[in-house]
Amino acid sequence: MGIPITIVSGFLGAGKTTLINHALAQSPFPKEEIIIIENEFGQTGVDHALLLQTTERIIQLNNGCMCCSLRGDLLASLSAILEVYQEEQQTVAQVILETTGIADPQPIIQTILTTPHIKNHFYIDSLLTVVDGHHWQQQLQETEAIKQLALADRLFFSVKEPADITQLPTFQETLRTINPFADILSFQANEPLLASDFFQLNKFTATLTEHEMTHSPHEPPTSIITIPFTPSR
């Protein structure tokens, strides 16, 4: 099938990075076989202390929102990963793509599914959306948040305070009006994550035909730096 891509979306502060760090700690794959693509604007990224102890490679895309101005950089990053996989004969077992909070996943999905040399070597395993259990009602006022929920295969309801868990039934009811196909798991930063909750879900293909994807462009933030991916030798 090719190299699986897990897309992780969610608004800033929802807990995307915490979820990914928990997943890395329980990964069924050797750490050197995982490549992470980050799209962030100054927020704390994937735990670099953890990465210093392992050999995951991070591609940080800071040149605007990935779904808009960064579509070219996303293709360049995936092409570089393909070079590692093909020309350097290094195993790439998993790509984790963490989007910025304001990203609409639809054009990212379309880029992966419609670019010939990408779709022939990569596939989307699942689209995971992390929801802030404390602020989800406010965040649902944003169009991008609705799109992230509508396209998700699995939702992680991030519980940061004891009272947040009481919001879960209400959120489940609300979600069914937006996306009746996604399953929901509660998630806490101080609890371990099962590898089977994150990796090798193979959920995207099953739900792709159920979703209608629409995209309204928005203004990307001003870029500061792009850290290019350099294959290790």
pLDDT of residue 208: 52
Count Cα neighbours of 159 within 13 Å in the Cβ-side half-sphere.
Answer: 16
Structure confidence by residue, pLDDT tens digits, 74-93: 888 898 888 878 887 888 89
Structure confidence by residue, pLDDT tens digits, 9-68: 988 788 898 999 899 889 999 888 888 888 754 445 554 444 434 445 666 665 554 444
What is the mean predicted confidence (pLDDT) over 110-135? 92
Q: Mind giving me the DSSP string for 15-75?
A: SHHHHHHHHHHT-SS-GGGEEEEE--SSS--S-HHHHHTS--EEEE--SS-TTTTTHHHHH
Domains of the chain plus CATH, in order, are: 3-210 (3.40.50.300)
pLDDT of residue 4: 95
pLDDT of residue 173: 92
Tokens of 200: 């090798």
Residues with Cβ within 8 Å of residue 212, at least 6 apart in sequence: none
In the structure, what pLDDT confidence band is assigned to residue 225 with cuts at 50, 70 and 90? Answer: very low
User: Higher confidence at residue 71 or residue 196?
Assistant: 196
